Structure formats: C-alpha cells, structure tokens
Structure 1
Amino acid sequence: MRGHRQMEFQEDFWLPITVDTDNISAISPFLVPQDHLGSRGIFYAMSALMFFLFVFGTGINILTIACTIQYKKLRSHLNYILVNMAVANLIVSSVGSFTCFYCFAFRYMILGSLGCKIEGFTAALGGMVSLWSLAVIAFERWLVICKPLGNFAFKSEHAIGMCALTWVFALAASVPPLVGWSRYIPEGFQCSCGPDWYTTGNKYNTESYVMYLFCFCFAVPFSVICFCYSQLLLTLKSAAKAQAESASTQKAEREVTRMVILMVLGFLVCYVPYASFALWIVNNRGQPFDLRLATIPSCVSKASTVYNPVIYVLLNKQFRSCMKKMLGMSVSDDDDSSTTQSTTEVSKVGPA
C-alpha cells in the first residue's frame, strides 16, 4: 500500500533533484509546504501578488462584460471580441489567480492533484482564448481598415463566429494534458500548475506537446498579429501622407500606431516568457536549472488579466466613458465625440 501511494504521488509531480523514494511524502508538493524552495516571505509575497491579480483582474473584466450588457452602443463586432477576451481573463483570474493565492498562502498545492489539474486546465484554457482573441482583433482591424477583400463588411455574426473559433483552438490546446498527451503538474514554487515541460522519454510525450503548443499557439497567432498590424501601419502612414493637411487624420495615425505598439508589446510580455522557457527546457534536457524560474512565466501570464483590459478596454474611449457612467463618474462630452471622430477617421484611411 505504501509503495502504491508513492507511485501515485510521483505520477502527478516532478522533482529536479534526487529524492529517496522511501521519503517522497516529506517533499511532495501535495502534502507539505515547499519551504526548501524559498523563504516564507517569498511565498507570502507571491500570495499577495496573486490576490491583487485576482481582485483587479476579476473586477475589471466583470466591469467590461457588465458595460457591454448595459450599453447597447458597445455591442459592435470589435467589442464582441473584447468581451470574449474579458470572459477568458475572468476565468484565469477567478480560478487560476485565486487558486494560486490560496496555495501560496499555505506554501504548497494544498488542493491536491485534482485541484492542480483544474487550475492548470482553466489557466491554459483562458490564456489560449485570450491569446487567440488578440490575433482575431488584429485580423479584424486588418479587414476593416486595410480592406483586402474590397467592400466586404465584417459584421457581428463574423465576430461571434471567430470568438467561437478561439474557444475551439483553446480547447485543442488545453484538453490534451487531461487525456494523456503531456500532463498538468505543479510548477515553479509548486503552488501553481501548468503543462509538464520537464520530463522526457515517458508515456506523456511531453516534447511533442511542447512543440505543438509553440507552433500552433504561439508562432501562428504571433505571425497573424505581426502581419496584420504591419499592414495596418503601412496603410495608415500612406493615408496620413496623402492627407498631410488633415490634423484629424494625423492624430488618428498617431493614436493607432501607439495602440499597435502597446498591443504587440502586451502579447510579447505575456507569452514570450512561457514560450522561451518551454523551448529551452525541451532543447536542453538534462541541463540543471532552477525550478523556481518556472514561476516567472506563470505570474506574467496571469498578470495579463489586468494589463490586457487596460490596453484594449480602458484605452478605448467608448468603453471608458461607459464605465465612468456605470460607476457614477462624470463624463465629458469630449469623450463620446472624440471616440466617434477617431473611429470615423481611422475607418476612412483604407483603400476605396
């Protein structure tokens, strides 16, 4: 019975150090605090950070969804995609960040193997939906402003269909570890969970899963984002040059350029740490590394539930004015008028 219990635990986590299997329960991340990985102060600081992400990430994304429900003028095709991303962020913050806050407070994965799988799956699902939503936003902006399909009108039903597609893609990436292709295990300080990047030569085929994630869930959407936004910037610069005397066109070009830079930087900050870390592990099997470093990509990814809404929603004047109204704050007439003017000017820069 004792031997079976040890095997069960070792199936659900990985340790980069030689451990006496007779004493595996003394270091299992599901049984005891992981104080060998850091001081209590570090664990409590991480718990405080996760609590901050839980509170602000949950609050700002609920507010985004509530605003769209209350104000009919926000129900445009672009805002549907923003709401789709808010729903994904809400899943990550309310489940992933809260679970991490709770486990960091106890200094180990107190929720056990099942809780680890749930946290890893929901964080992966929400993160992938958010990632693909960023690509969909870039694709939508390219279609609407650059008009590569001529007079094709991107409508709400197209946006809803593409939002559904983001969930299909996300499930295709997050479900495999639940059914045997890789697995969800504790990572970093062993208080959060993610795909198994570490083990090799086992029944889980972790190397192929990591490459699948890198190609399908990083390289493809990143290529879409880079292509669409580069074309968008070229179109805007061409329009601004042709209308050099128009101050409003010049202003629109500057605003969109600034937004594009923030969007691409936000994508890179969120997903490059995970992608680079996973690739390094896969290509440097057997090389020593500090397991605690795996906490960095996890924290940066969960932080996207806060900074993505800031970039995509709070910098959207229409959303911002509606949020102010919902919170009982005063809204100047300039907010709505500048939103309408900016939208009109940017829509006009595409080819006829």
Structure 2
Amino acid sequence: MKGIPEFQEDFYIPIPLDTNNISAFSPFLVPQDHLGHHGVFIAMAAFMFFLFVGGTSINVLTIVCTIQFKKLRSHLNYILVNLAIANLWVSVFGSSIAFYCFWNRYFILGPTACKIEGFTSTIGGMVSLWSLAVVAVERWLVICKPLGNFTFKTHHAILGCIMPWIFALAASLPPLFGWSRYIPEGLQCSCGPDWYTVNNKYNNESYVMFLFCFCFAVPFSTIVFCYGQLLITLKLAAKAQADSASTQKAEREVTKMVVVMVFGFLLCWGPYASFSLWMVSHRSETFDLRLATIPSCLSKASTVYNPVIYVLMNKQFRSCMMKMVCGKNTEDDETSSSSQVTQVSSVAPEK
C-alpha cells in the first residue's frame, strides 16, 4: 500500500516510521504508543472488559436457562442457543485476549496467539452471522409457510445449528493455510484477517471479496428477504383480523422486532464489511489504520447486543430468566413474540 511498507510475516508497520529498526515498533514486542494516547488504550481495555463480562454472563445465562426450563427447549430455540454458544466463544477467546492486550498496549501474547485469537474470533463471528440468517429462515418457514404444511422437526433444528459452523470453518480456516493471514489490526491489540496489504503471496484481495460475498452479502440478503416476507404475511393477517386487538398488537411488536434485528445486524457487521470493501477498492490510497479498531470493536460488541435482541426481546426467554435469577414468576409474559406471530399468521392464506 502506498506509504505503508510491509514487513515480516506476522505483522506490518501501519504508518511510516524509522524502518531501520523495525523491531522497535513490533506489535508483539513493544507498546504501540505511536498509534494513540495511553488513555485510548485504557478506554479500549475497559470496553473489552465490559464486553467480556457482559457477553459471557448473558450468553451463559441463555444456555443455562434453556437447560433448566424444558419449555424453552423447542426446535425454534435451538438456533438461539447456537447463537449464544458462538457469542460466548468470541467473548471468552476474543474479548478477553483483546482486553489483556489493550491493557498492555500491544499484542503481548505473541504471533502464535495472534493467529489463534484471529481464528477463534473469526469463526465465532461467522457462526453468529450465519445463525442470524438461519433464525430468519426458520421463522419464514414456520410463519409464512412457503412449503405448505411443512413441519419443523428436530433434525431440521439440528441441521440449522450445524450449517453455521460448517460455513464458519470454510471462512475462517483459509488464513491458517496461506489464503490471507491473521495479523494485528487497528491499534495492534487484537487480530483479524489481513484486509490491508497488497500481497500476491497471500491473495488478500480475493479472500476479502470471498468474505464479503459469502459471509455478509448472502446472510444479509437472506435476512432481508425472509423478514420482508414475514412482515408481508403479518400485514395480511392483521388486515384480516382488523377487529382483533391482540392481533394488531402482535403485528406491531413483531414489526418492531424485525426492524431492531436488521438494524442490529447492520450495526454489527456493516462497518466491518464496508471497511474491507473500501480497502479492496482503494489500494492506492493511504489511510489511518487506527480506524480499523472501530469495526473490530463493533463486531465483538455483538456478543452483548445479539442476545439482547434475540433472547431478551423474547418474552418466554425473558420470563424464565427473571424466574431463574430473581425468583420472579411472570406467567403473563410466557408467550413469546414468536408464538404470537404464529397465531397471527394462522389467518394468512396457505401457500
């Protein structure tokens, strides 16, 4: 990249410095104080600590709650548990390591740990991405009934949990075998795929385009299509039951949930996808690599706001969590929004 020479196999100098002594700026050897004020690193460490504590607790709570309450172990909730496992994976292996490294102001754990952190964060993020798409497909199949009297069974739910991990492995393994690579990114305290350098040896450009198309464009298109069809079905159902207050309320609640889900997806992954695409299409332009920290942090923050959107907005999950944590029994909230949607859609025309 113009003005940003590349060095070593495991990192590159993000801004022009005294290149006669590269080791003096290595993100694996010395604090990266040339990239930002000490307070910036401490603030990022505090944010990562929040993501680690919040992401770990809320996702562990989701998994334990599902185990404890039999009524939560429905086929449609399997994928939410899968999402919680993926979020927990990123929180434990990604946010915790990032916190420790931001606190020390460089990737103190070394290049091997960088590859491990980059791989684990990427696979967890990709599972999360594809799980969100599977959630949308499941709701579309159950509510909109595009396959007629299709019955969602256990093996469908298990397949919906396995597929995201297969897709995630296909996306996260290549950098370990020479197609792109995992290197320090942003403030050089967390690791991810190499979006930045022009390197024919690693074919970074083709890998970035692969990730953009396969791991962002396809899941996002799937989510938009499925939730778009769901909203159309709900509008028809609400119109057919115009005199039913409960139907109108369910339609409004689900519409709000769909908007929040799509917005959450874009907030989490839109900046990362946009940044990587900009990098590919503006190879000759210089940029401040420190800005890469922003999309990286937003993607890790999904470990907190994904369960808030997909679990805590589910009334059934929420009431069970309140009962388990506080001993509060809220029977009035036991019916989840998804079950309300099913009831509303029953008046929609059969496909």
Superposition TM-score, scaled by structure 1 size: 0.95
Structure 1 pair 283/344, CA: closer, same or farther in 2 (3 Å)?
closer
- Aligned partner of residue 327 in structure 1, secondary structure: helix
1:16 Cα offset (Å): 3.2
Alignment match of 1:211 (pick from 185, 209, 212): 209
Alignment match of 1:298 (pick from 296, 299, 307): 296
Structure 2 alignment gaps of length 5 or more:
1-5
Q: Distance in 2 between matches of 1:207 and 1:300?
A: 23
Which AA in structure 2 matches 1:90? L
Structure 1 pair 349/204, CA: closer, same or farther in 2 (3 Å)?
farther
The range that moved more, 313-322 or 9-18, is 9-18
Give yes or no for the alignment of 1:253 onto 2:251: yes
Q: Distance in 1 between matches of 2:125 and 2:293?
A: 16
Structure 1 alignment gaps of length 5 or more:
1-7
Alignment match of 2:328 (pick from 304, 325, 330): 330
User: Sequence identity, in percent?
Assistant: 73
Structure 1 pair 13/121, CA: closer, same or farther in 2 (3 Å)?
same
Q: How does 1:1-352 map to 2 (within 5 A)?
A: 10-336=8-334, 342=340, 344-352=342-350
Offset from partner CA, 1:4-35 (integer Å, 9 cap, x none)? xxxx9711012233344441110000000000
Offset from partner CA, 1:268-319 (integer Å, 9 cap, x none)? 0011100100011111112111110000011000000000000000111111
1:143 Cα offset (Å): 0.4
Report how many residues are paired. 345
Query: Is the 1:248–1:345 contact (alpha carbons within 8 Å) kept by the matching residues of 2?
Result: no
The range that moved more, 282-291 or 342-351, is 342-351
Query: Is the 2:238–2:344 contact (alpha carbons within 8 Å) kept by the matching residues of 1?
Result: no
Structure 1 pair 338/201, CA: closer, same or farther in 2 (3 Å)?
closer
Which AA in structure 2 matches 1:18? P
1:44 Cα offset (Å): 0.4
- Aligned partner of residue 184 in structure 2, secondary structure: strand
Q: Distance in 2 between matches of 1:57 and 1:299?
A: 13
Superposition TM-score, scaled by structure 2 size: 0.95
1:157 Cα offset (Å): 1.5
- Aligned partner of residue 193 in structure 1, secondary structure: strand
Offset from partner CA, 1:88-121 (integer Å, 9 cap, x none)? 0000001100000000000000010011111111
Query: Is the 1:182–1:209 contact (alpha carbons within 8 Å) kept by the matching residues of 2?
Result: yes
1:330 Cα offset (Å): 1.3
Q: Distance in 2 between matches of 1:105 and 1:297?
A: 19
Query: Is the 1:147–1:351 contact (alpha carbons within 8 Å) kept by the matching residues of 2?
Result: no
What RMSD in Å do the two structures reach over aligned CA positions?
Answer: 1.6
